[in-house]
Amino acid sequence: MAEKSAGKRVLPQKRSRAESEKDRPPGLNENEKSIYMLIKSREGMGISQPDIRSAISLDIRTLNKVLDSLQTKQFIKMVNSARNKRAKIYMDFHCQPSSELSGGHWFTDGHFDEALVGAVRHSCLTLIKTLGVVTVDDLISSINKRNIVVGGVTRAQIDDILQSLKVDGVVDELRSSGIGDFSRVPVGKVCYKIVADKKQPLVGAMASIPCGVCPRITECTPDGIISPDTCVYYQNWLGF
Amino acid sequence: MVSQHGLKLAARLITSHFGDLVGKVCECLLRRGTLSLLEIIRFTELSSSQVKNSILVLIQHSCVQAFSIPRPVASGAEIRTVTQYMALFDNILHRLRFSKFLSIVQTDLGLQCRNLLEGLLQHGRLTFEQLAEREVSKKQFEGSTSSQDSLRVEFDRLVHARYVERCPKPEPFVSPPVEDKLTSARKRGANLVNIGTDEVLESKTSDRISDVPGGHKRKHEALEIDKETEAVIVESGVLWRVNFEKFVQCLKKKACVANARLRLGLDAGIILEAMIESNTTQGNKNSVQSSLENIIEAVRGKPGGISMTLEHVRVILEKLGSSLSSEESGVLYEIDLKAIIRICQTDEVEALVLKKYGEVAYRIFRFLAKQAVVQETDHISDVTLIEKKITQGILVKLWKDDYLEMKKAIAQGSGQTQHFLWSVNWDELWEHILDDMYHAALNLSQKISHILEQEQEALQDKAKRQRLQKGRLTLEFSLLKLDDALMLFHDF
Ligand code: SF4
């Protein structure tokens, strides 16, 4: 249906009379019907209360009453948005929250799954280091073949990980030239490689002395209570 | 403007090298800006002779510059020439790096030149006679000999390589327009210090200062060791001093080469060094330019350079971020040294963020450091794949500690939503990091003095003394390293 692909729209789509009649659920008054139809049209994306109000002008008390009644009658349900914990989203009772609403493919039970991100990131890095040059397909098949992630990884997950590795300056995105390191990847295909000059983080001058990372530096003065002469961080550092 | 901890560090260096009185006078000048003798006496509450002697010591060691300016006396009608004194912050801080200067000269020109330079570093301005006398008596004491002639040859080399330069006139005269600038600078605030070295003073006023015997100082390229120069060297009464600017250039070059080596490998270090040595640009100290032929020639003269192919050199020049320009003399490669210094600075800050705030903060900071425009919290969380709450917490922490800048934006939609936008404000961050570095250097040098005192007290306890000595060496090494980082942010 056309409406399904336009799930993000706030306003309901015009429907033909026959279709509208057919979809109209029994046992609902006019307000309940129009609000239910609006919520239903948003499918897995759902809609927030302020958005309903801007689409259908109703005073807040009536609106809340209608929403409560629809929930009681199990026409709609309220879900939380992973992005905005305070926002209450209403959705058709039988719909599943979209991945955008549930937080995406890194959310498990509404929580960001750090361990999952860490495991996939680590696997990708190890594979890129081992294979030299890899494509997204290589990564998906290798990770899934090894059963590293329960239920397997998706392309979207691998894309996310590669994006974060690029942002961190750890991997480069290149197009295969088909020769040398790239010989196993078809010419022109996008592939990934560890950044050539990726160095270990430098041991900075400030980072290697106690004062550089000292939480008390602003209170430390030559003759103060906290001073280099009495500093415990230095005592420990120098092993005195 | 120099930060508070920078001033404290400079004052501390002078106190520990020349004692409390000289330290007090220097601190007064550092904090209050340019002053006359009477003003120094009034502010420090020291006797006239104490102040005079302190000033002489400071001038002798190029830590203070004297100059004359015409100033109206009380009634405003009569104009008199008054001598003013100005602390040279940069020169004072160079006292931290004397051991580096000595090692540069020893590597470049050998031990004898190093010893001559040591004389100048220890005693400040000297005539060649004084320097030679000192060297001869030192040699006699050590049981060896050294002739005036051989010393002069070594001294020639120091002058020729610009490690040593002739002192300018001790008290240049600055005509009224400059006086206006100076007095208005003083009015702007007591803490405002003229941090420029005397080179700044000289260059700003080069056409106003009359009769400066050391006026050829800025024309080093024209300096040729001919008979005339030799005659000047031995001429009695001509004072010589260490050319700090040259050493700063050498250290800058070293820092860039070390960074290239670390980032792109040994060959990159060799090629950059060769390029700097064959540099043909004179004016711009922030970039080097040379033809491929000259670079290759210089590369071949270096250990490990003989086997490098033309193509290899070309590829590395590209990796070093060089640009090509077409000049009358042919195609030239140009490398922006400032850009390499910028990488060094960023590395230093990133290392600090990693150590102080951990791996996740390091990733977020690195991401923001690369962005040209502000970034929204959700977006940062999405692209780094770091949970939103954690991202938010880290961003706020870095913002509170002045590593990041934050802006709020309100989006008007069905309701109002507030967005937080983050970025790195490099200028402010540099200032803040530099002040922390001065503070850390101040603490390190105080700790070193403290341990030295403890060593004196532990003369009888050999084990304790050795432990203290070991600790002191660690601190001294850390201070030298920290000073390298300080130069990245202040001198290069
Ligand atoms: S001396 Fe000690 S207390 Fe003071 S800033 Fe350094 S580490 Fe912190």
Residue B2 reports pLDDT greater than 90: no
Domain-terminating residue out of A102, A125, A156: A102
Domain-terminating residue out of A49, A84, A102: A102
Average pLDDT of the residues of chain A: 81
Closest CB to A161 among B385, B468, B482 = B385
Going from the Cα of B450 to the center of ligand 1, the distance in angstroms, rounded, reads 14
A27 shares its domain with A88: yes
A&B contacts, CB < 8 Å: 126
Amino acid at B224: E
A97 shares its domain with A119: no
Amino acid at B123: H
Do the domain assignments include residue A5? Answer: no
Do the domain assignments include residue A159? Answer: yes
Do the domain assignments include residue A4? Answer: no
Amino acid at B385: L
Average pLDDT of the residues of chain B: 83
A127 shares its domain with A168: yes
Contacts of B367 in chain A (CB under 8 A): 167-168
A49 shares its domain with A82: yes
Atom nearest to A211 CA in ligand 1: 6
A209 shares its domain with A233: yes
Do the domain assignments include residue A176? Answer: yes
Q: Which residue has a Cα nearest atom 5 of ligand 1? A: A217
What is d(CA B4, CA B30) in angstroms, rounded to the nearest whole number? 10
Do the domain assignments include residue A2? Answer: no
Contacts of A168 in chain B (CB under 8 A): 363, 366-367, 384
Which of A206, A225, A227, A234, when mutated, tests ligand 1's pocket best, judged by the most ligand atoms within 8 Å of its CB? A234
The pTM of the full predicted model, rounded to 2 decimals, is 0.75
b/e per residue A30-57 (b: at least 16 CB within 10 A): ebbbbbbbbbbbbbbbbbbbebbeebbe
Give the best residue of B16, B97, B365, B385 to mutate against chain A (max A CB count within 10 A).
B385
A51 shares its domain with A97: yes
A168 shares its domain with A211: no
Give the best residue of B349, B370, B443, B467 to mutate against chain A (max A CB count within 10 A).
B443
Do the domain assignments include residue A120? Answer: yes
Do the domain assignments include residue A236? Answer: yes
Count of domains in chain A? 3
Contacts of B444 in chain A (CB under 8 A): 209, 211, 228
A24 shares its domain with A50: yes
Residue B471 reports pLDDT greater than 90: yes
Question: Which range (B89-103, B130-144, B292-306) has the least confidence?
Answer: B130-144
Q: Which residue has the higher pLDDT, B177 or B134?
A: B134
- Local structure of residue A149 (DSSP, 8 states): S
> Which tens digit of pLDDT belongs to each residue from B391-445?
999 999 999 999 999 999 887 765 677 889 999 989 889 999 999 999 999 999 9
Residues with Cβ within 8 Å of residue A112, at least 6 apart in sequence: A82, A103, A106, B387, B388
Mean pLDDT of B66-83: 76
Domain-terminating residue out of A71, A102, A133: A102
> Which tens digit of pLDDT belongs to each residue from A88-119?
889 888 887 776 677 677 777 667 788 888 88
Closest CA to B422 of B405, B410, B403: B405
3-class DSSP state for residue B198? helix
Q: How close, in Å, is residue A84 to chain B by CA atoms? A: 10
A48 shares its domain with A96: yes
What is d(CA B450, CA B431) in angstroms, rounded to the nearest whole number? 29
What is d(CA B346, CA B489) in angstroms, rounded to the nearest whole number? 10
ipTM confidence: 0.75
Closest CA to A55 of A44, A41, A65: A41
Closest CA to B430 of B489, B344, B353: B489
Do the domain assignments include residue A70? Answer: yes
- Residue numbers of the domain that contains A22: 11-102
A143 shares its domain with A210: no
A170 shares its domain with A229: no
Q: Is B363 on the interface with A (CB under 8 A)?
A: yes
Contacts of B370 in chain A (CB under 8 A): 169
Integer-rounded Cα Rg, in Å, for chain A is 28
Whether B471 sits inside 8 A of A238 (CB atoms) is: yes
Residues with Cβ within 8 Å of residue B429, at least 6 apart in sequence: B349, B402, B403
Q: What is the dihedral of CA B137, B140, B144, B149, to 10 degrees?
A: 40
> Which tens digit of pLDDT belongs to each residue from A172-219?
888 888 787 788 888 888 999 888 665 566 788 999 999 999 989 999
Q: Which residue has a Cα nearest atom 1 of ligand 1? A: A228
A59 shares its domain with A131: no
What is d(CA B399, CA B393) in angstroms, rounded to the nearest whole number? 10
